[in-house]
Amino acid sequence: MRAIDGPVPDRHSALLAAPVTATVPGEVHTDLLSAGVIPDPFDGDNESKLAWIGRSSWSYRTVFDWESDGHAMQELVAEGLDTAARVTLNGTELGRTWNQHRAYRFDVTSLLVAERNELVVEFASPVATANRLSEESGLWPHTNHHPYNAIRKMASNFGWDWGPDVATVGIWRPIRIESWSGVRIDSVRPLAGLDRDRGVLDSRIALAWQDGFTDDATVTVEVGGTTTEMTVPAGTPGAGVTSTIDAVDRWWPRGYGDQPLYDVQVSLQAGGQTDTWQGRVGFRTVTMNVAPDEHGGPFILSVNDRQIYVRGANWIPDDAFVTRLNRETYERSIRDAIDGGMNLLRVWGGGIYESDDFYDVCDELGVLVWQDFLFACAAYSEEEPLRSEVEAEARQAVTRLSQHASLALWNGNNENIWGYVEWGWRAPLGGRTWGEGYYFDLLPGIVAELDPRTPYSQGSPFSYDRYIHPNDERNGTMHIWDVWNQVDYSTYRSYKPRFVSEFGFQGPPAWSTLTSVVHDEPLDPYGEQMLVHQKAFEGNLKLERGLGEHLPKWKDIQDWHWTTQLNQARAVAYGIEHFRSLFPLNTGAIVWQLNDNWPVVSWAAVDGHGVRKPLWYALRRVYADRLLTVQPREDGPVVAAHNDTDVTWSTEVTVSRRSTGTGGEVLAGETFALEVPARSAVLNSLPASVATAGDPSAEYVEVRAADGSTAYWYFVEDTALQLAADAYTAEVVPTANGYDVVVTATALAKDLALFPDRLEPSARVDSCLITLNAGEKHTFHVTCCASAPAGPIGKPVLRSANELLT
């Protein structure tokens, strides 16, 4: 691999005079990093210093020997080229590619030689290519500073409001020579469904035939102990084989049942030639209900005719350099979702169609997948050459992913319909196309043809009626972004959304993650490198403004870090508790976002080094199967209980009004029986004796169920609340795989949090944001190290809301 054109800095030109060894699959950035040519792109302000990589053209070259195995056809299969490439074999151009999101296949039968063969893939600069295509076709409105909508490449690769601008180049998925004769399996779509208790597998098999081959083919499908065979006449482009499995075990999302998966093998025989395809399916049905009702129009996903309350998160590419991802990294991040109580991940439209590993893990662990087509926050031309590329990539994506039991929804785009309506696009477009034909015609047609078992949504947000604003809370899905951008998070309670598919609030990553890449001296929220790792417009100013009356402004950088992490967690939890209290009007929420793709201040619950932020622990609480929360209503506070399980929730609930001070005196209390049927919610008025405070600044309400569920209600914001400075003591106890920190409260200790990564970056803790009444204890379990920290443990490792206010 070597640079062939572009602004290579003098300090790198000597190192790049000779070729650099490339790893395939891989990317130029990762190869240059491995070779020691460049520093870590994520560190400090290296992102801008390395911008020349995306502005340069690159060439990949390899020499290989080839020996015929007797087959008549040889094809070069490139599963992923990023992005604008010219492919040559032995000096002959095979073709040019323009799309990161699809595979290409080239006939090389007449070009391969028995000995030395040279394959060269030349990549044009992605930045220059996007600029050129945009200038040639006319500017289409987009967010951010590169015209990513002019080229079929991962949009966020050009930078986003949480991600770095590291426009990559490379052979990012496998490339190989395939040899075959007669006929081969081109693709298989094993569409698994249900007919009462029977499983029905509709295997749709596309075949590629060698010119002049006249033998018929036999196709055999094996699944669940059933074998089905059919004869396919020579030259027939495809075959449909239906298999029926009696008494099939149904696939369910987590929390609703098990996830049985069935192996599928498709075999092809013709004229002595054979070919096979293998995969896995789960038998289930998925439906989407958006039919108008008395409140407007719902958004309801059902699996096997059972409504699912969605507790989800948006998913972005898990690393800015996606070739570093593998089965292990995907499973680790998906388990973050599961451990956080989630049952759905939305693969957002500015990223990629993920690797098979991602969907395999979701199949196995019961996580539903909402899959966006790859259009985000921009207008897109519907003319050539873009239209053909869009159709080709969509067909390949639907074909590849259609086998997965976890696939619950195809979604046309992210925010583009909303953008056309409200973001001032119509004047610069001047009547030109903007993507509407994709979302309302092309893409739903492809889904109906290739994956009719999976629902299709035109966009997110969308009201499922062209005459209703696409982000109307009364209909379909909505995004709530005035919170964070413009207004206080208490505004969440002004909405009664049917379904929220995006909302969120920012906070910094773990201290160890942040300081591994930000080296400002002194460290400051508005420091030069800090702002490199804050991509949102006025992001750290919004963090400051977002404290509102909830928390005081920080005294130092230590308090800035803890205060803004705490405020992020509280803001998102505030929204979700409100949404769940509206059930069944509200049918779910998908928080922005689960993960980060580098170390950054962002909306993520888990940071770029895999550390679970306080937000993650808040999500685990509010996304629990059973939730207690106190919510305001016109007639006073209510205890809202949402039971998202198959078993009736029967318990006794004690509500008490207590003093915040030393001793935590109980000032009033009552007990009532709570009975919540399966998959439902109830509201109970907070008793007047508890709901009315004698001194609002020194009292609070605790709601505690006999099964351990708790909720708290405060009469004033923390900035007006009397909290003791010395509300707890802590003891460190060594364990076999780390240490415990046992905290004992002497007064109300609010939102206790332990940050062991400050002592050892690899350390992890099991709990966070723990509120204790006077006399209560909590044990934080830390896993990491050979020995426990010596001496007492306190600020900045052990924090609470108390010391921010005293």
* CATH number of 537's domain: 3.20.20.80
Beta strands in 646-709 (DSSP E): 649-659, 666-676, 680-685, 699-705
Residue 726: count other Cβ atoms within 10 Å of its Cβ. Answer: 12
Nearest to 29 by CA among 5, 66, 58, 6: 58
Determine the residue type at 475: N
Residue 550 token pair: 């909830």
327-339 vs 356-365: helix crossing angle, rounded to 10: 40
Q: 567 and 656 share a domain?
A: no
Report pLDDT for 444. Answer: 98
> Taking the C-alpha atoms of 219, 240, 253 and 173 in order, what is their torsion angle to the nearest 10 degrees?
70
**Geometric angle at alpha carbon 324, from 264 and 47, rounded to 5°:** 145
Residue 390 token pair: 């869009």
**Residue 698: which residues within 8 A CB-CB, separation 6 or more?**
659, 660, 661, 721, 722
Report pLDDT for 143. Answer: 94
557-581 vs 614-622: helix crossing angle, rounded to 10: 20
Condensed to tens digits (0 to 9), the pLDDT of residues 514-558 reads 999 999 999 999 999 999 999 999 999 999 999 999 999 999 999
Residue 509 token pair: 């990553």
Report pLDDT for 216. Answer: 96
Bond into 385 cis (ω within 30): yes
- Report d(CA 586, CA 309) in Å as an integer: 9
- Report d(CA 363, CA 448) in Å as an integer: 22
Nearest to 413 by CA among 388, 378, 385, 369: 378
φ, ψ for residue 785 (rounded to 5)?
-120, 170
Residue 520: count other Cβ atoms within 10 Å of its Cβ. Answer: 17
Q: Which residues pair with 262 in a beta bridge?
A: 281
Beta strands in 169-256 (DSSP E): 170-171, 175-180, 183-195, 198-209, 217-223, 226-232, 238-245
Residue 682: count other Cβ atoms within 10 Å of its Cβ. Answer: 16
Nearest to 747 by CA among 711, 779, 723: 723
Q: 81 and 52 share a domain?
A: yes
Report pLDDT for 790. Answer: 84
- Report d(CA 296, CA 586) in Å as an integer: 12
Q: 677 and 609 share a domain?
A: no
Nearest to 601 by CA among 522, 535, 546, 504: 535
- Report d(CA 145, CA 628) in Å as an integer: 44
Q: Which domain holds residue 213?
A: 181-281
Where on the phi/psi map is residue 671: left (φ > 0), alpha (ψ -120 to 50), or beta? beta
Grouping H, G, I as helix, E, B as strand and the rest as coil, residue 69 is coil
**How many Cα atoms within 13 Å fall on the side-chain side of residue 714?**
16
Query: Are residues 182 and 209 in contact, defined by beta-carbon separation less than 8 angstroms?
Result: yes
Q: Which residues pair with 241 in a beta bridge?
A: 203
- Report d(CA 594, CA 677) in Å as an integer: 30
pTM recorded for the entire structure: 0.96
Q: Which residues pair with 505 in a beta bridge?
A: none
Q: Which residues pair with 477 in a beta bridge?
A: 462
- Long-range CB pairs of 515-524, under 8 A, 24+ apart, other chains included: 516/43, 516/599, 516/609, 516/761, 517/42, 517/43, 517/44, 517/599, 518/44, 519/44, 522/557, 523/557, 524/557
Question: Which regions of the chain are under pLDDT 70?
Answer: 13-15
Q: 547 and 595 share a domain?
A: yes
Report pLDDT for 14. Answer: 63
Report pLDDT for 139. Answer: 87
The strands making up 84-89's β-sheet, listed across from edge to edge, are 2-5, 57-65, 116-123, 84-89, 92-98
- Report d(CA 621, CA 311) in Å as an integer: 12
Q: 245 and 317 share a domain?
A: no
**What's the structural domain count of the chain?**
5
Residue 280: count other Cβ atoms within 10 Å of its Cβ. Answer: 17
Q: How far is CA 191 from CA 9, 203, 222, 454, in A?
A: 52, 6, 14, 10
Which of 660, 695, 720 lies at the terminal end of a domain, its last residue?
Answer: 720
Which of 256, 281, 306 lies at the terminal end of a domain, its last residue?
Answer: 281
Token pair 């610069």 is found at 428
* CATH number of 157's domain: 2.60.120.260
Q: 65 and 126 share a domain?
A: yes
Which of 257, 281, 305 lies at the terminal end of a domain, its last residue?
Answer: 281
Residue 510: count other Cβ atoms within 10 Å of its Cβ. Answer: 26
Task: Kindly tell me the burial class for residue 226, based on how many C-beta atoms sit within 10 Å of its own C-beta (0-12, 13-18, 19 or more).
Answer: middle
Task: Kindly tell me the burial class for residue 320, based on how many C-beta atoms sit within 10 Å of its own C-beta (0-12, 13-18, 19 or more).
Answer: buried
**Centroid of chain to Cα 119:** 36
- Report d(CA 297, CA 378) in Å as an integer: 26
Condensed to tens digits (0 to 9), the pLDDT of residues 773-802 reads 999 999 999 998 878 888 889 999 999 999
- Report d(CA 597, CA 604) in Å as an integer: 10
Token pair 């209503």 is found at 633
- Report d(CA 43, CA 516) in Å as an integer: 8
- Report d(CA 521, CA 571) in Å as an integer: 30
Task: Kindly tell me the burial class for residue 585, based on how many C-beta atoms sit within 10 Å of its own C-beta (0-12, 13-18, 19 or more).
Answer: middle
Report pLDDT for 15. Answer: 61
Q: 419 and 370 share a domain?
A: yes
- Report d(CA 244, CA 225) in Å as an integer: 10
Token pair 């039971």 is found at 643
Among the residues of 610-742, which ranges form H helices? 614-622, 688-691
Q: 307 and 208 share a domain?
A: no
Determine the residue type at 534: Q
How many Å is the Cα radius of gyration of the chain? 28
- Report d(CA 397, CA 369) in Å as an integer: 14
Bond into 796 cis (ω within 30): yes
Q: What is the 3-state secondary structure (H, E, C) of 359-423?
A: HHHHHHHCCEEEEECCCECECCCCCCCHHHHHHHHHHHHHHHHCCCCCEEEEECCECHHHHHHHC
Bond into 508 cis (ω within 30): no
Q: 272 and 419 share a domain?
A: no
Query: Are residues 359 and 407 in contact, defined by beta-carbon separation less than 8 angstroms?
Result: yes
Q: 429 and 503 share a domain?
A: yes
* CATH number of 769's domain: 2.60.40
Condensed to tens digits (0 to 9), the pLDDT of residues 449-467 reads 999 999 999 999 999 999 9
Q: 392 and 538 share a domain?
A: yes
Token pair 């593998």 is found at 326
Q: 491 and 600 share a domain?
A: yes
Handedness of CA 274, 278, 284, 288 (dihedral sign): negative
- Report d(CA 55, CA 6) in Å as an integer: 6
* CATH number of 188's domain: 2.60.40.10
